[in-house]
Structure 1
Amino acid sequence: MDGTDDKDVRLRESAEKLALTLSQSGMQKTTARVMTALLFSQQETMTAGDLCEVLKISSGAVSGAVNQLIPTGMIERVPAPGSRRDHYRFREHAWATLMGNQNTLLAGMWDAAAEGIKVAGKESVAGRRLDEMQDFYGFMQREMAALIDKWREQYDSDRG
């Protein structure tokens, strides 16, 4: 095994470790494996066939994973001139996009608390709990957006 093969094996092992962590945190195992294969790949893009070969999974499994990952903003389908196959890659700034998408969840939680307060009344037992929930999710929503903006500025500045 030459140095390149050894590096590829170690990268694949690292990808599988992360996939395991993600699946233990609730992500479907195949989806996690496809995502990490694209993240750790030395190739700019991979086809579904590439993913099937590397991961030893079916094309249907790859298709299902891709269909779950594209809407999250983690991966994207990209054109490949001269190729009739779909090519996929891990998106630039995917982590910030993923965290930014969490603001939709945070807003939904804030709205649910507001609706509950309107019905229960702010001074009721439920209202006091819901008020704390609303305050927390409002804070998280504001801070998350500011943190992502700050990270983007720092990232761009560092690579400037």
Structure 2
Amino acid sequence: MTAESLARLVATELAAEGFPRVPAQLLMRLMVEPTGSMTAAELAAASELSPAAVSGGIRYLGTLGFVRTDVVPGSRRHVYSLPPVPWYASTLTQDRYRAIRALIEGGLEGVEAGPPRDRLTEMAEFFRFLQAEMPALWERWQASRA
């Protein structure tokens, strides 16, 4: 099996698990690109996607921190690449739920006692727990790689 074939299979599985299909295709295409970087035109051609689909997919991946965007020196073209911290590890190094947790905690005063308040409280507590645990998990991952 080639790297490209495997990337297509993994992208299909990511989509089956709920990850948007086009961003999954683009992410996995970057994963198997030797340089880990491609322009929008290269991504469109390699993935057989329209420029608009690539643009939207890259925007989504950028929001998650799974790709980064740089400008090709001397041009107006962008090049998209995998970040220094692997995308799959970014969930361990970024507090993605801080804003949601702050909204819940700030709004709980106005929510009357009962199941909705209990569920929202537990949600905020879970995100607080993740924030506390993720750095240790990242350190364990790094140690396992040494």
Shorter-chain TM-score: what band? 0.7 to 0.9
CA 1:128–1:85: 2 relative to 1, 3 Å: closer
Alignment of 1:33-72 (within 5 A): 33-72=25-64
Aligned counterpart, 2:130: 140
Aligned counterpart, 1:154: 143
Percent sequence identity is: 26
What TM-score do you get using the length of structure 1 for normalisation?
Answer: 0.71
C-alpha root-mean-square deviation of aligned residues, in Å?
3.0
The CA distance in 1 between the partners of 2:76 and 2:110, in whole Å, is 55
Paired letter, 2:16:
Q
What TM-score do you get using the length of structure 2 for normalisation?
Answer: 0.76
Structure 2 SS opposite 1:120: coil
| Structure 2, unpaired ranges of 5+ | none
How many residue pairs get aligned? The number is: 145
Can you list the C-alpha shifts for 1:98-129, whole angstroms capped at 9, x where unaligned? 4444x3326624752674477434xx565555
Aligned counterpart, 2:90: 97
Contact 2:92 2:137 in 1 (8 A): no
Paired letter, 2:58:
V
Contact 1:46 1:89 in 2 (8 A): yes
Larger Rg: 1
Q: 1:13 aligns with which of 5, 14, 17?
A: 5
| Structure 1, unpaired ranges of 5+ | 1-8
In the TM superposition, residue 68 of structure 1 has moved relative to its aligned partner by: 1.2
In the TM superposition, residue 33 of structure 1 has moved relative to its aligned partner by: 0.4
The CA distance in 2 between the partners of 1:75 and 1:29, in whole Å, is 16
The CA distance in 2 between the partners of 1:107 and 1:146, in whole Å, is 21
In the TM superposition, residue 147 of structure 1 has moved relative to its aligned partner by: 1.8
Aligned counterpart, 1:27: 19
Contact 1:110 1:137 in 2 (8 A): no
The CA distance in 2 between the partners of 1:35 and 1:89, in whole Å, is 9
